């Protein structure tokens, strides 16, 4: 199975702000983007803190795309994908002229539209938050002529979207593939995760002994993939390989053993031709629920042993960005490789996952940071692991 | 020429349910589409069925027509992938969950667990202990046929040996103006296999697969129903924007009326 | 038979969409979780919502919930103990 492809563009927005460099800088300074909600009532849900994209930034993204108030998911996705399209040598014209496709990752898409219609009495609902339509709208805005689809696979949507884009490239179905992951915070998921008692009342603490639930976040990330970059394309990184499995245990809770996630990691390493000891950094899932982090720790320990690479979760500062997470966190992993720095896992004070785990409380500069494994697990029992390699274009 | 075998197919829709082997029409007096009850669909036990949302019910019911083995404790199928394609997704339970948010006692956790189209894959993974790769996609009308296409391509790429590929659309008013129920499931096998395939998908070219039934007297009702929506014209998964892929079903078109 | 127990059995079947069971199938002395009905963690959360919606009692502590949901009889006792007295009782 051939899996390698080059990443020649990236961008993102999240609670910590606009763009990979700005977000990375704040991440290294230990800033926390999980703050008292401004768009949601306090005291209504089991938490008052969320990782909102700053209002001014959301307004700016709307202005960039001409979206109105009712389409924040479109605004974020189209803006970030548009920047990536314009940022590559040849820009949007090159993408429009080539056979370029789009895979959009999201769990709930433009969910606000459904919420508004649900609140109005009577009458059928127009399925306006159709996620396939969101993908098509973003593709049309960029005049893309290649394959377009949405991947909606719970919290692994982002990673699976990157994988699906790589698959399409390898089949020759496209010359270039844009991947966009997006999810917008809404009462829908706040109410749902509250009903699950899964939210921490304070900013979440991945891998910590006192962790008590996740924090929700929002954002968008985008990557541009191709098989054969042009000489002047910046190669920011490479997809090395992937593994996707299902625990087959429970529709929302993770397995207790972590063997499904371990199998996904091993499959990704195998596809990339890597030994476990060649991995320099793990971008963990780290949602800060009691069970996820314990399961993840077991899986990582099973694959890497005591002498494991350093690990960080960014959800302690960005929150869990759901469908955007896989793409957004992969983009930050590319920055980590460029900077040869493993970020601290914000929110951790005392490790408490039942097995040894090398989670950092301070950023760590490394002489070499060439291989990253990004891992995600999601509702429905699905696990995904992606190997990312340093790009030749990273100094 | 590379062939993928379709070794089983199953379908549940507003006319009835069944497989390539046997088809049962809903009774005359049944609602259209009828409420799905497990005891009508299968002899095998499945206590969870009532809790599933409409999309999961449709997908699981169609998969039941494949007559997959229910595994022994400890058995699993890591070599089998699960692919679901759906245009409407879980819009029905999304709306019901939204309404539960306004109720006394708060939002329903049971409904929330179904507000992801991929939950159907989770239910199937658990029931049949299928632990291979999952893919849940949405690309407008024809998403179901796209699931079949993507499932076959996964096997061609060597990511799995078998694939359960499902297309499902299921929703009821007020989420949609008219009730809709349509789900097809296919069991794909890269082979070699002992089971005589119902049909083969032959990929002579990257962008076209020829689907040929092995026994023309046994129509691929499921493929035909799903691909053609009963109007005799095959529908391509044309939601690859401006780059349609075609699934040519010659024999199925000839024999299925 | 206790009217509250009867009502609870109906409410459990409805809240959890137990289509293959009738209220009469539920033994009021038997455990709800683990064996028997085979309810899971999501069902537990759903029952918490059901109890608040139908009986106005909010279960916040995990341990309280565990005891209350030990069986239908236990749940009936819990509700009787925690229900606010009616303004016009006595």
Mean pLDDT of A6-10: 98
On whether both A92 and A112 belong to a single domain, the answer is yes
Question: pLDDT by residue (tens digit) across B150-171?
Answer: 999 999 999 999 999 999 999 9
In a domain, C23, yes or no: yes
Above 80 in pLDDT, residue A229? yes
The residue with greater pLDDT, C63 or B57, is B57
Rounded to whole angstroms, the Cα distance separating A190 from C34 reads 29
Query: Considering only CA atoms, which of A229, A271, A226, A308 is closest in space to residue A387?
Result: A271
B195 contact C CB<8A = no
Mean pLDDT of A130-137: 94
Is the CB of B87 less than 8 angstroms away from the CB of A160? no
Rounded to whole angstroms, the Cα distance separating C77 from C73 reads 6
Mean pLDDT of C78-82: 92
Distance from CA of A318 to the nearest CA of C (A): 27
> Locate tokens 């959800």: which residue?
A315
Rounded to whole angstroms, the Cα distance separating A277 from A279 reads 6
The burial class, CB within 10 Å (0-12 / 13-18 / 19+), for B42 is middle
Is the CB of C42 less than 8 angstroms away from the CB of A252? yes
Q: Would strands A5-14 and A237-246 be described as parallel, antiparallel, or unpaired?
A: antiparallel
Rounded to whole angstroms, the Cα distance separating A374 from A376 reads 7
Residue A297: CA count within 13 A, CB half-sphere = 21
Residue C24: CA count within 13 A, CB half-sphere = 0
Query: CA dist B30 to A363, B14, B25, B27, Å?
Result: 64, 10, 10, 5
On whether both A243 and A185 belong to a single domain, the answer is no
Size of chain A, expressed as the number of residues it contains: 395
Question: pLDDT by residue (tens digit) across A93-129?
Answer: 999 999 999 999 999 999 998 898 888 766 555 656 7
In a domain, A316, yes or no: yes
Angle, CA of B243, B249 and B254, to the nearest 5°: 140
B99 contact A CB<8A = yes
On whether both A218 and A301 belong to a single domain, the answer is no
User: Which of A179-183, A310-314, A333-337, B172-176 has the least mean pLDDT?
Assistant: B172-176
User: Which B positions 67-96 lie with beta carbon below 8 A of chain A?
Assistant: 76, 78, 82, 87-89, 91, 94-95
Query: Considering only CA atoms, which of A102, A69, A72 is closest in space to residue A84?
Result: A102
The burial class, CB within 10 Å (0-12 / 13-18 / 19+), for A356 is middle
Query: Which residue on chain A is closest to B112 by alpha carbon?
Result: A192
Distance from CA of A196 to the nearest CA of C (A): 7
Q: Judge contact between B7 and B189, C-beta under 8 A.
A: yes
Above 80 in pLDDT, residue A337? yes
Q: B204 is written with which tokens?
A: 């002579």
Above 80 in pLDDT, residue C62? no
Under 8 Å CB-to-CB from C89, ≥6 apart: which residues? none
Which residue segment(s) compose the domain that C49 sits in? 3-82
On whether both A193 and A335 belong to a single domain, the answer is no
Is the CB of C45 less than 8 angstroms away from the CB of A196? yes
Task: Name the domain count of chain C.
Answer: 1
Looking at the DSSP bridge assignments, the partners of residue A11 are A222
DSSP 8-state secondary structure symbol assigned to residue B130? B
Which residue segment(s) compose the domain that A91 sits in? 5-226
Torsion on CA atoms A18, A21, A23, A25, rounded to nearest 10: -140
On whether both A329 and A353 belong to a single domain, the answer is yes
Q: Would strands A49-50 and A311-312 be described as parallel, antiparallel, or unpaired?
A: unpaired
> Which positions in chain C have a beta carbon within 8 angstroms of at least one beta carbon in chain B?
15-20, 38, 42-43, 45-46, 49-54
Q: Which of A204, A226, A248 is the last residue of a domain?
A: A226
Query: CA dist A336 to A241, A314, C68, Å?
Result: 18, 12, 50
On whether both A177 and A52 belong to a single domain, the answer is yes
On whether both A156 and A300 belong to a single domain, the answer is no
- A152: number of Cβ within 10 Å: 28
On whether both A11 and A156 belong to a single domain, the answer is yes
User: Which region holds residue A212: left if phi is over 0, alpha if psi is between -120 and 50, else beta?
Assistant: alpha
Classify the C-alpha dihedral A348-A351-A352-A356 as positive or negative.
Answer: positive
Is the CB of A252 less than 8 angstroms away from the CB of C45? no
Torsion on CA atoms B240, B241, B242, B243, rounded to nearest 10: -20
Rounded to whole angstroms, the Cα distance separating B249 from B198 reads 13
Question: pLDDT by residue (tens digit) across A273-285?
Answer: 999 999 999 999 9
Is the CB of B206 less than 8 angstroms away from the CB of A171? yes
pLDDT score of A128: 64
On whether both A154 and A248 belong to a single domain, the answer is no
pLDDT score of C65: 85
Question: pLDDT by residue (tens digit) across B108-155?
Answer: 999 999 999 999 999 999 999 999 999 999 998 878 888 988 999 999
Q: Judge contact between B25 and B211, C-beta under 8 A.
A: no
B49 contact C CB<8A = yes
Classify the C-alpha dihedral A157-A162-A165-A167 as positive or negative.
Answer: negative
Q: Active-site positions of A?
A: 155, 285, 320
Question: pLDDT by residue (tens digit) across A345-355?
Answer: 999 999 999 99
Q: Would strands A237-246 and A382-390 be described as parallel, antiparallel, or unpaired?
A: antiparallel
Question: pLDDT by residue (tens digit) across A61-74?
Answer: 999 999 999 999 99
Q: Which of A173, A195, A226 is the last residue of a domain?
A: A226
The pTM (predicted TM-score) of the whole model is 0.94
The CATH number of the structural domain formed by B2-255 is 3.40.47.10
**Preceding peptide of B33 cis, ω within 30°:** yes
Question: pLDDT by residue (tens digit) across A12-61?
Answer: 999 999 999 999 999 999 999 999 999 999 999 999 999 999 999 999 99
Distance from CA of residue A340 to its chain's centroid? 20
pLDDT score of A13: 98
Residue A130: CA count within 13 A, CB half-sphere = 20
Q: C10 is written with which tokens?
A: 């109906």
In a domain, A250, yes or no: yes
SS (H, E, C) chain C: CCHHHHHHHHHHHHHCCCCCCCHHHCCCCCCCECCCCCECHHHHHHHHHHHHHHHCCCCCCHHHHHHHCCCHHHHHHHHHHHCCCCCCCC
Question: pLDDT by residue (tens digit) across B204-257?
Answer: 767 667 777 776 555 455 555 554 443 333 333 221 111 234 455 444 332 222
Is the CB of C45 less than 8 angstroms away from the CB of A197? yes
DSSP 8-state secondary structure symbol assigned to residue A277? G
On whether both A306 and A202 belong to a single domain, the answer is no
DSSP 8-state secondary structure symbol assigned to residue A155? G
Q: Judge contact between A187 and B99, C-beta under 8 A.
A: no
Q: Judge contact between B41 and B58, C-beta under 8 A.
A: no
Task: Name the domain count of chain A.
Answer: 2
Q: Judge contact between C64 and C24, C-beta under 8 A.
A: no
Query: Considering only CA atoms, which of B160, B165, B173 is closest in space to residue B77?
Result: B160
Rounded to whole angstroms, the Cα distance separating A364 from A336 reads 10
**Residue boundaries of the structural domains of chain B:** 2-255
pLDDT score of B237: 28
Above 90 in pLDDT, residue A213? yes
Query: Which residue on chain A is closest to C61 by alpha carbon?
Result: A197
In a domain, C42, yes or no: yes
Distance from CA of B49 to the nearest CA of A (A): 13
- A92: number of Cβ within 10 Å: 18
Q: What is the CATH number of the domain that holds A47?
A: 3.40.47.10
pLDDT score of B239: 18
User: Which B positions 167-226 lie with beta carbon below 8 A of chain A?
Assistant: 171, 173-177, 206-207
pLDDT score of A357: 96
Rounded to whole angstroms, the Cα distance separating B229 from B235 reads 8
Q: Which residues of A262-293 are buried (b: 16+ CB within 10 A; e: fewer)?
A: bbbbbbbbebbebebeebbbbbbbbbbbeebb
Residues of C in contact with A250 (CB under 8 A): 40-41
pLDDT score of A193: 97
Among candidates B91, B118, B207 on the partner chain, residue whose Cβ is nearest the Cβ of A153: B118
Q: 3-state DSSP call for residue A388?
A: strand
Above 70 in pLDDT, residue A203? yes
Among candidates C38, C45, C54 on the partner chain, residue whose Cβ is nearest the Cβ of B47: C38
On whether both A140 and A25 belong to a single domain, the answer is yes
> Locate tokens 């679901």: which residue?
B84
pLDDT score of B19: 86
DSSP A198-213: -B-SSS--TTBTT---
Q: What is the CATH number of the domain that holds C7?
A: 1.10.1200.10
Q: Which of A226, A257, A272 is the last residue of a domain?
A: A226
């Amino acid at each position: 199975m051939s899996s390698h492809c080059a990443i020649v563009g990236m961008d993102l927005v999240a609670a910590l702000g606009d763009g990979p460099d700005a977000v990375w800088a704040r991440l290294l300074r230990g800033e926390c983007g999980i703050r008292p909600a401004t768009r949601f009532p306090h005291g209504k849900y089991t938490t008052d803190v969320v990782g909102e994209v700053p209002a001014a930034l959301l307004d700016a993204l709307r202005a960039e795309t001409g979206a109105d108030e009712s389409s924040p998911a479109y605004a974020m996705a189209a803006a970030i994908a548009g920047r990536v399209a314009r940022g590559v040598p040849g820009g949007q014209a090159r993408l429009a002229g080539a056979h370029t496709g789009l895979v959009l990752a999201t769990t709930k898409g433009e969910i606000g539209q459904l919420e508004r219609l649900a609140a109005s009495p009577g009458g059928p609902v127009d399925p306006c938050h159709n996620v396939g339509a969101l993908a098509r709208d973003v593709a049309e805005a960029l005049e893309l002529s290649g394959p377009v689809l949405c991947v909606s696979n719970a919290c692994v949507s982002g990673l699976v979207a990157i994988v699906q884009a790589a698959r399409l490239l390898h089949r020759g179905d496209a010359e270039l593939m844009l991947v966009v992951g997006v999810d917008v915070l809404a009462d829908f998921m706040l109410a749902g995760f509250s009903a699950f008692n899964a939210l921490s009342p304070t900013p979440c603490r991945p891998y910590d002994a006192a962790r008590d639930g996740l924090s929700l976040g929002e954002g968008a990330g985008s990557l541009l993939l191709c098989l054969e970059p042009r000489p002047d394309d910046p190669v920011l990184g490479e997809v090395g390989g992937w593994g996707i499995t299902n625990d087959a245990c429970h529709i929302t809770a993770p397995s207790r053993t972590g063997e499904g996630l371990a199998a996904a990691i091993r499959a990704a390493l195998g596809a990339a031709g890597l030994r476990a000891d060649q991995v320099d950094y793990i971008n963990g899932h780290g949602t800060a629920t009691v069970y996820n982090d314990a399961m993840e720790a077991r899986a990582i320990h099973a694959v890497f042993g005591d002498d494991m690479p350093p690990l960080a979760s960014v959800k302690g500062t960005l929150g869990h960005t759901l469908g955007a997470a896989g793409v957004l966190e992969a983009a930050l992993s590319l920055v980590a490789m460029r900077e040869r720095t493993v970020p601290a896992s914000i929110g951790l004070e005392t490790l408490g996952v039942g097995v040894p785990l090398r989670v950092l409380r301070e950023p760590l500069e490394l002489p070499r940071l060439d291989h990253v494994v990004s891992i995600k697990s999601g509702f429905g029992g699905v696990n995904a692991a992606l190997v990312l390699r340093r790009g030749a274009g990273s100094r | 020429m590379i062939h993928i075998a379709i070794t089983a197919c199953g379908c549940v829709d507003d006319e009835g349910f069944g497989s390539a082997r046997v088809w049962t029409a809903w009774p005359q007096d049944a609602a259209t589409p009828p409420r799905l009850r497990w005891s009508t669909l299968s002899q095998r036990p499945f206590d969870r069925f009532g809790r599933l949302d409409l999309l999961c019910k449709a997908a699981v019911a169609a998969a039941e027509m494949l007559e997959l083995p229910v595994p022994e404790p400890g058995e699993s199928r890591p070599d089998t992938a699960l692919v679901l394609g759906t245009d409407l997704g879980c819009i029905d339970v999304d709306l019901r969950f939204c309404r539960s948010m306004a109720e006394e006692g708060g939002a329903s956790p049971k409904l929330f667990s179904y507000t992801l189209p991929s939950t159907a894959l989770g239910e199937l993974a658990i029931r049949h202990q299928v632990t291979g790769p999952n893919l849940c996609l949405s690309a407008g009308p024809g998403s179901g046929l796209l699931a079949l296409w993507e499932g076959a391509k996964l096997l061609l790429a060597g990511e799995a040996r078998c694939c359960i590929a499902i297309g499902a659309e299921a929703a009821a008013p007020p989420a949609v103006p008219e009730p809709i129920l349509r789900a097809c499931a296919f069991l794909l096998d890269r082979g070699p296999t002992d089971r005589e395939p119902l049909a083969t998908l032959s990929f002579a070219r990257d962008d076209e697969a020829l689907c040929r039934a092995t026994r023309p007297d046994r129509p691929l009702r499921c493929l035909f129903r799903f691909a053609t929506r009963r109007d005799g014209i095959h529908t391509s998964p044309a939601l690859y924007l401006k780059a349609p892929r075609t699934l040519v079903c010659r024999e199925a078109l000839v024999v299925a009326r | 038979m206790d009217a509250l127990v009867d009502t609870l059995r109906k409410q459990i079947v409805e809240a959890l969409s137990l289509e293959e069971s009738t209220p009469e199938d539920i033994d009021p002395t038997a455990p709800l979780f683990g064996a028997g009905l085979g309810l899971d963690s999501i069902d537990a959360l759903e029952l918490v919502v059901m109890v608040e919606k139908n009986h106005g009692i909010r279960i916040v502590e995990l341990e309280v919930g565990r005891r209350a949901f030990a069986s239908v009889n236990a749940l009936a006792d819990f509700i009787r103990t925690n229900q606010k007295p009616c303004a016009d009782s006595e």
